[in-house]
Amino acid sequence: MRWRVELGQLERVCQQIDGYGVTGTPAVDPATHSLYLADAFGRIHSLDLATGAERPGWPVTVYTDFRRELVWGALTIVDGSVYFGTGSYCDRKMVGKVFRVQIATGAVSQWEVVPKRLGGGGGVWGWGGLAYSAARDSLYAVTGNAFEGGTNSGKRFREYAGYGERIVELGPDLRVRGSNHPRDIRRKNDLDFVGSPVLFRHNVCGEVAAALNKNGFLYLWRTARLGAGPVSSLRLSSPTLAAPLPSGSTSTAGAGHGWPGAARSGAGSSTARPRSPGTPSGSSRTRTRARRWSRSAPPRDSRASRRAWRGRPTSRRRWQAAGSTFRPTPAPCRGSRSLPCSGGSRAGPARA
């Protein structure tokens, strides 16, 4: 161990985390030779990679309601700014946000998922943090449910109020460029999008975003037409209260994808160590209701994925496992039912 820095630990306030310090996976910035991370008190630190010393002008406080709000997921660095989301701690009422901290100046800006006038909520809590598309120079977040409150109450209450239960495309300035709430997610069952969105590229379909929902479906969108809705959805499990869907990201490979990458230490240390992916509860066989799957080998390090692959697939819908990331095999994007990017899908056809 080269160095260790103590950043404090919040006292235990509920059973979710037995006192915590650093939970979101830190990010390394080669340009400044610094490690950026969020502590338990709503502060972002910039530590010298060689010594662990705090950089001048840091830490920067980004929020103060740290007994309600938490940086669950990984931090992301894009073009000189640190980006990250916040979700509820102990299921307490708060407003989910995406923050931007400019490294050069320490300036802080934020985007609110569901404003207080609509009840708040909409946490961004996936361990993998935000996804970044270099092709579109955009950040992608998936969000949780809105809370009841304000004008979003009574018979008018919707868990997808504001930008709740959506995939959202944000520009570097945190302005919304596009979003989508799948039409089939309507029940008031706490149907968050879990984990983090994953981006991949298809030869014909272009860039595709994939995200899991608590309803057990994997949704896929073309990033260039996010507002048109999912081009396909695949049932990966039938979650219940006794056997919920695992909350890792869509791709479970590597730090920040299905890994609570920076483990909480007893003293809130910045020392990061990976924890093993959680084993999903429930039956040993999870029926896969995707239109058609081939029997390619599942990712080696993903127990959650192995369960989904134990179904009885056939060869019509073919996926390949490259490392640990699912990749649909090349085929026409439109007019073919052999790809998730095809028009014929559970969530309806893509709009022209």
**Range scoring the smallest mean pLDDT among 106-115, 239-248, 296-305:** 296-305
- For residue 109, the tally of other CB atoms under 10 A from its CB is 13
268-298 exposure pattern, b = at least 16 Cβ within 10 A, e = fewer: bbbbbeeeebeebebeeebebebbebeeeeb
Hey, is 155 helix, strand or coil? helix
pLDDT of residue 242: 64
pLDDT, tens digit (0-9, with 9 covering 90-100), for 2-51:
999 999 988 776 777 777 889 999 999 999 999 999 999 999 999 999 99
Reading the block at residue 17, the tokens are 């985390």
| CA pair distance 72, 344, nearest whole angstrom | 36
Written as one letter, the residue type at 332 is: P
Hey, is 307 helix, strand or coil? helix
CA atoms within 13 A on the CB side of 55: 21
Delineate the domains of the chain, giving CATH numbers in brackets: 27-328 (2.40.128.630)
pLDDT, tens digit (0-9, with 9 covering 90-100), for 178-191:
999 998 887 776 77
User: For the whole model, what pTM was predicted?
Assistant: 0.73
Confidence label for 244 from pLDDT (cuts 50, 70 and 90): low
123-135 exposure pattern, b = at least 16 Cβ within 10 A, e = fewer: bbbbbbbbbbbee
44-62 exposure pattern, b = at least 16 Cβ within 10 A, e = fewer: bbbbeeeeeeebeebbbeb
**Cis peptide leading into 59, omega within 30 of 0?**
yes
| CA pair distance 331, 324, nearest whole angstrom | 21
| CA pair distance 190, 351, nearest whole angstrom | 28
Q: Provide CB contacts within 8 A for 319, sequence distance 6+.
A: 293, 294, 296, 326, 327, 328, 329
pLDDT, tens digit (0-9, with 9 covering 90-100), for 37-95:
999 999 999 999 999 999 999 999 999 999 899 999 999 999 999 999 999 988 889 99
